[in-house]
Amino acid sequence: MKLNLLALFFFCTGFLFAQQTEFVDFKNANVSVTFLPELKTVSGQILYKLDILKSKDSIFLDAINMKFSQVTLNGSFVEFKNDSKRLWVKYQFKKGKTYELAFQYEAQPKKALYFIDWDYEDGNKQIWTQGQGKYTSNWLPSIDDMNDKIEFDLIITFNKDFEVISNGKLTDKQVNDSTITWHYDMQKPMASYLVALAIGKYDKQIEYSKSNIPLEMYYYPEDSLKFEPTYRHTKQMFDFLEEEIGVPYPWQNYKQIPVKDFLYAGMENTSATIFSDAFVVNDTAFVDKNYVNVNAHELAHQWFGDLVTETSGTHHWLQEGFATYYALLAERDVFGDNYYYWRLYEYLQELDMQDKSGGSTALLDPKSSSTTFYKKGAWVLHLLREQVGDEVFRKAVQNYLKIYAFTNVETENFIIEVKKTSKQDLSNFVKLWLENKDLNYNLMLESLKQSVFIQEYLMVDCELYTSKCKAYLNSGISDEAKAKVIEQIPNQITTDNFKSPVKVRQAIATSISIIPERLKQDYESLLQDESYVTIEAALMNLWRNFPQERFKYLNQTKGIIGFHDKNVRILWLTLALITDNFEPEKKSEYFRELTDYTSPKYSFDVRQNAFMYLKQIQACNKTCKDNLKEGTKHHNWQFSKFSKSMLEAINPN
């Protein structure tokens, strides 16, 4: 009977007081953890310091499927309950008192902490976290509610052959027999979803910002030649954002760590951004797919999201809209005004497509899409700045960040600061751009037309003005406008157009389906282009158009790998396999290589490419199918979904 009553007590308490921030404030967490990667487990001990704001007879920590022992309060064992979702501690907590809650725990997380390649001898062995949207409480007893900010200090013990990176400053490295114990110190509080950990084989380089903040940039030892193009413009963007925002970078240092098979492009963990190693690029790849925008976006989050954090999803644009907008400003400083307006134009087209499909929502709708929160959010800040002016906008943002530093905010908090600074009534602006679900496309387009570059692009309409468009190709208009012309009237391309910059040549490569004999030699030059997008498209197109010269094209592109997903190499292998009489003695070797790329030892983008081409040539054998089945259990839901869909297509029964 006693056990039943205790269970009922904890159930009722959890039901009635799911939001406990008004009763208790967790202040500090001293975390000491170890990992057994072969078993995919984490274990540790934690000491939490907490203040009681109102007298209470229980408190909780979010903790998913964990085992607890040695639970003490101020050094004495205390009554607790573990319901697989939370650790409940029963005690007569007194208002105004500070307590120390300590315990040991063990977990085998299903998400938020990922063990990569520990099942493969030659794999890229890693451990990394992703707290946003997945909840840190899957691997670390913490608080899912982002309104309770905590200063986390992590001590991690792990195999001495690996680097261990976490939030804050590395204050000590204790070398043991076979392990190293890494001590990381945070000086300021953050929401639990921003706690980060990355373990792997890394080298690093350090630069210092103008304000002397260490910028630690990690890379795989084998990628030393890709370091510069991957992290290109990092220091410039950091210095720009500090100056533009007008509030000093709020943390001790800034680290960036690439990882395999990450769930997103990047994640703005406090002082320690983790990003997908798909953005680790060489000089050629930089042209088409680089880390610059993701780099700037996650850096901007260190202020917008980490320093000031939304109270709830209703105000998610305060994080994603701001990070998207300030990333654009940083890129504008690097690439110029035309780039800035071009990206805004692209965002507008994406928003317009969403609107036409019936998916347009208000910015303050918590169920809005990422497109709305990110792209429309950035647009709203662009329009607000136009309305109030640069100086007023900057001052309002500074005030907003200083007043609400290390706390949580709602949209009204920001709007009030803009009202105060601008002395304008913003009620109509809020209704039109924040509360209204309509896109207001024409108003946004009018804003863009302040750019001569955009005006020039918009005037290109080859359906109405074919003769004028032909002249555009040899004029001084922008590369984007020329690319638009080529896409609309590819039959007007001349030899001179192949001497244009990369964007124009790329448009030529992707727009011509039937290559005229008069352009054959020029088109063949695209196989040596400084763009993997161009090379891939040109190889495929030439192979189709001129079957008698397939050997020549395959020999010219034999050693090209392409992007991180091996786009050119995987296409090359596929074409080599289906080209009659091309190196017949190596067909089996090429097939093994292509099939091997479906293996879990490769990143999911490589595997997905290989799967698709094997399916196209109807060559997905047992090894391929087994790897596809493994893919259905992958932690990346998009790749898992792809694998399930393809497996069903191959085996419809």
Give the per-residue pLDDT at 270. Answer: 98
Nearest to 565 by CA among 260, 287, 329, 318: 260
Burial class for 587, CB neighbours closer than 10 Å (0-12, 13-18, 19+): middle
Confidence of residue 516 (pLDDT cuts 50, 70, 90): very high
Q: What is the CB-side half-sphere exposure of residue 370 using CA atoms within 13 A?
A: 4
- Lowest-pLDDT choice from 9-23, 148-162, 393-407, 441-455: 9-23
- What is the biggest distance separating any 2 CA atoms in the chain, rounded to whole angstroms? 91
**Average pLDDT for 263-290:** 97
% of residues, the chain, pLDDT over 90: 91
Distances in Å between the alpha carbon of 516 and those of 432, 522, 539?
Answer: 51, 10, 16
Q: How far apart are CA 396 and CA 415, in angstroms?
A: 9
Q: Residues 213, 203: contact at Cβ < 8 Å? A: no
Q: Can you tell me the mean pLDDT for 585-595?
A: 98
pLDDT at 10 over 70: no
Beta strands in 277-328 (DSSP E): 308-310
Q: Is residue 11 very low, low, confident or very high in pLDDT (cuts 50, 70, 90)?
A: very low
- pTM confidence score: 0.95
Q: How many CB atoms sit inside 10 A of residue 340's CB?
A: 18
Q: Report the relative pairing of strands 24-36 and 203-208 from DSSP bridges.
A: unpaired
Say whether pLDDT at 579 is over 90. Answer: yes
Average pLDDT of the segment spanning 196-221 = 98
Q: What does the alpha-carbon distance between residue 307 and residue 323 come to, in Å, rounded to a whole number?
A: 12
Instruction: Report residue 40: phi and psi, to 5°.
Output: 55, 45
What is the token pair recorded at 135?
């909840």
The confidence band for 475, taking pLDDT boundaries of 50, 70 and 90, is: confident
pLDDT at 128 over 80: yes
- Asked if residues 128 and 198 have their Cβ atoms less than 8 Å apart, the reply is yes
Angle between helices 587-596 and 567-578 (to 10 degrees): 140
- pLDDT at residue 471 in the model: 82
Written as six digits, the tokens of 377 are 């959010």
The secondary structure of 217-286 as a DSSP string is EEE-GGGGGGHHHHSTTHHHHHHHHHHHH-S---SS-EEEEEETT-SSSEE--TTEEEEEGGG---HHHH
| Residue found under tokens 């088409």 | 288
56-62 and 169-175: which strand pairing? Answer: unpaired
pLDDT, greater one: 164 or 477: 164
Q: Which residues pair with 41 in a beta bridge?
A: 36
**pLDDT average, residue stretch 304-328:** 98
List domains and CATH numbers for the chain: 1-201 (2.60.40.1730), 308-454 (1.10.390.10), 494-650 (1.25.10)
Q: Write b or e for each residue in 502-536: b if 16 or more Cβ atoms lie within 10 A of its Cβ, otherwise e.
A: ebbbbbbbbbbeebeeebeebbbebbebebbbbbb
Average pLDDT value for the chain:
94
* Ramachandran area for residue 519 (φ above 0: left; ψ -120 to 50: alpha; else beta): alpha
Residues 6+ apart with CB under 8 A from 315: 364, 409, 410, 411
User: Alpha-carbon distance 412 to 626, whole Å?
Assistant: 53
Q: Determine phi and psi for 214, rounding to 5 degrees.
A: -70, 130
Dist CA 641 CA 633 (whole Å):
9
Higher pLDDT, 476 or 5: 476
